Amino acid sequence: QAILADHVRDHGHRPLTPDMEAFGKYRAEHDRAMRWAGANRRMIAARVREALRCDGSPLLDVTHNMVEPAGENLWLHRKGASPTNRGPVTIPGSRGDHSYLVLPLDASASMNTVAHGAGRKWARSDCKGRLSGRYKVAELKRTKLGSHVLCEDRELLYEEAPEAYKPANSVIEALVEAGLVRVVARFRPVLTVKRAGGSR
């Protein structure tokens, strides 16, 4: 967010070209953010292993927001989309829906990219108004699948409610029908931990 905010402040929504100094600055900040995100994921995994008192090694580490070279003078910006040229891909559902592990097939028609997840149905700002009359906070801490939700932020509990997202199986069915993926496994959430970032 900070990288985008700085870019918009300095350049508006005008594009950058590789010969611009600002392009090099943007790439350096982007790459630094990618390294930080990778380190953050590794730390979370280590803490989960520690809490479960088990060993483990990384099987998959795929990002879904990135810019990368895609040929001479071409750049591919994936926003909420996963690359398919790095092995299996997880496609998460909401905290109240299944997630999937898929094996990418020929995804050249989609620029070696598939959906990162089910996607939002409602804007975050609409969720509390739509759901506060239907659910008490305590009810949002258990899902219809029987999983538990750990979250101390009341606003975030509503913003991330399962109803705010599209059904994951509809996204999976579309990807399978398009010949982009094969489903390897389906996962049921057991525990979801949510924490707001930024100033909240």
Q: Tell me how far apart the alpha carbons of residues 37 and 24 are, in angstroms, rounded to a whole number.
A: 20
- Do 137 and 154 contact (CB within 8 A), yes or no? yes
Helix (H) or strand (E) holding 8: helix 2-11
Catalytically active residues, by annotation: 116
C-alpha gyration radius of the chain: 19
The CA-atom distances, in angstroms, between 63 and each of 37, 117, 154, 200 are: 9, 12, 28, 24
- Do 167 and 97 contact (CB within 8 A), yes or no? yes
Amino acid 183 reads V
